[in-house]
Structure 1
Amino acid sequence: MVSPYKNKKGFDRLSAALNHSFEGLKATFKNEEAFRQEIFLALILIPVAFYTGDTTVEKILLVSSLILLIVIELINTGIEVIIDRVSLDKNELSKLAKDIGSAAVLIAFLNCFIVWLMILFF
């Protein structure tokens, strides 16, 4: 079975994909406080990373740890939206999925914190 939403090819497909991506970023920014906080954090820390990183590798690690945090937050938000779409009723599996997504964000945040700590102070 072929999805009717997968009928674009070439530049039209790329254009549609970019449009959907920007719509997702806008919707997440509008609806998710944690995402807005992480974006503002990144807007402050990315320039700091370029200033404080001594080597190109250090700069890449500092910036990519922030980007990873944002990516994981987007995935977590997607999981939460799907679960809420299915049902707003309390359910053990829904809670588990949301908790696991939240744990992924926590691990990404700890990774970011550790990378910054190690590069700046060790």
Structure 2
Amino acid sequence: MDLKEPRNSEWKRFYKSFWFASTGIVQTFKTERNFQIHVVVSILMLIIGLLLSFTKLEWVILLFLIGGMLSLELINTALEHVVDLVTKEKRPLAKAAKDAAAGAVLVYAILSVIIGLIIVYGHLPI
């Protein structure tokens, strides 16, 4: 009986970690406009991929772009919350940290749009 309890505890912690992560994603979706925009654009791209019959490689690329974009936006949101928690007043380094994280999201978003356009363009009858 003693041997099973630690294993049970490990599984409980494992499942709780998924619960906490899911809660973070849902909370971010509810409160962050940019994350909502990324989710909507991701859904549109998935629909476009189905309509245009993307190849397996194109699907892999698209899924990596979507996963990377949403993950980066979640990290950016987390960093902004931590900075806001630590610094109540405006500080130049806090602003620089938040701006750099937002810049990383912007760079990845631009890259994702360019790659998405290249993939979609290849399926247009032009």
Contact 1:79 1:101 in 2 (8 A): yes
Contact 1:38 1:70 in 2 (8 A): yes
After TM superposition, the runs of 4+ consecutive aligned structure 1 residues lying more than 3 A away are none
Unmatched 5+ residue regions in structure 2? 1-7
In the aligned structure 1, how far is the partner of 2:35 from the partner of 2:90? Answer: 24
Number of residues paired by the alignment?
115
| Residues 50-87 of structure 1 deviation map (CA, whole Å, 9 limit, x = unaligned) | 33254200111123212211111000000000000112
In the aligned structure 1, how far is the partner of 2:28 from the partner of 2:54? Answer: 33
- Under a length normalisation based on structure 2, what TM-score does the superposition of the two structures give? 0.82
Aligned identity (percent) is: 26
Unmatched 5+ residue regions in structure 1? 1-7
In the aligned structure 2, how far is the partner of 1:82 from the partner of 1:120? Answer: 38
In the aligned structure 1, how far is the partner of 2:9 from the partner of 2:111? Answer: 38
RMSD: 1.7
Closer, same or farther: CA 93–121 of 1 in aligned 2, 3 Å: same
In the aligned structure 1, how far is the partner of 2:32 from the partner of 2:44? Answer: 19
In the aligned structure 2, how far is the partner of 1:119 from the partner of 1:94? Answer: 38
